[in-house]
Structure 1
């Protein structure tokens, strides 16, 4: 039903984690190249000796995940209906329910109930799927 939302959340989490790991590895490489470890001799089988390759792989994977996310966003932008608008504005644009209500010209209470109903449907569908 709203598989796109689960996929988007999964991609967002994967991208955040990859960015964290990439930052850690780039910081570590900087220590080896120009920092406090620059005078330490590297062994061929040490973890640090493969940092550049690891960083390159992480950059490629990060680009791939971002491309997947962007393609998903482009697809979801084409979806119609109030439910999809609410979810898209909430998750992709980061708007509050109050902002969504104002922009779509509905009352805050209606959008809040509608969002809660959508989330209940998603959780119910997930529980059914996990029991299969």
Structure 2
């Protein structure tokens, strides 16, 4: 039902991890190409010798993850349910309850209460699916 939100969050975490791996790998490559390890000989099998391929692979995976986020956003924007608009506005767009209320035409209190109900529902669904798996 709201698996898209979990998928979105998981992909966001994957993106952060990939960005960190890319930054670390680029720093390491910098050490080998112009830093303190510049004069050290590498074997063809070493990680240092394969850093450019590793960075390329990480950047390729990062691009796919970013495309996955865009795909989820496009899919969810097609839903016309208030519940989905609340979750999308709050967790994808980072909107306040006031902004969401103005957008969907409900009071802030109603949006806040609906959000609380949705969080309970999502938590219940998580519990239910974890016992089934």
User: TM-score, normalized by length of structure 1?
Assistant: 0.91
Instruction: Please give the residue correspondences for 1:33-72 in structure 2 after superposition, counting only pairs within 5 Å.
Output: 33-72=33-72
Higher relative contact order (CA 8 A, sep 6+): 1
Partner of 2:81 in structure 1? Answer: 81
Q: Take 1:80 and 1:115, find their aligned partners in 2: how far apart are those partners?
A: 16
Q: Structure 2: give runs of 5+ residues left out of the alignment.
A: none
Greater shift in the superposed pair: 101-110 or 64-73: 101-110
Partner of 1:22 in structure 2? Answer: 22
Q: Could you tell me how far 1:37 is from its partner in structure 2?
A: 1.8
User: TM-score, normalized by length of structure 2?
Assistant: 0.91
Q: Take 1:106 and 1:95, find their aligned partners in 2: how far apart are those partners?
A: 15
C-alpha RMSD of the superposition: 1.4
Q: Take 1:88 and 1:9, find their aligned partners in 2: how far apart are those partners?
A: 12
Q: Could you tell me how far 1:111 is from its partner in structure 2?
A: 1.3
Instruction: Please give the residue correspondences for 1:77-116 in structure 2 after superposition, counting only pairs within 5 Å.
Output: 77-116=77-116
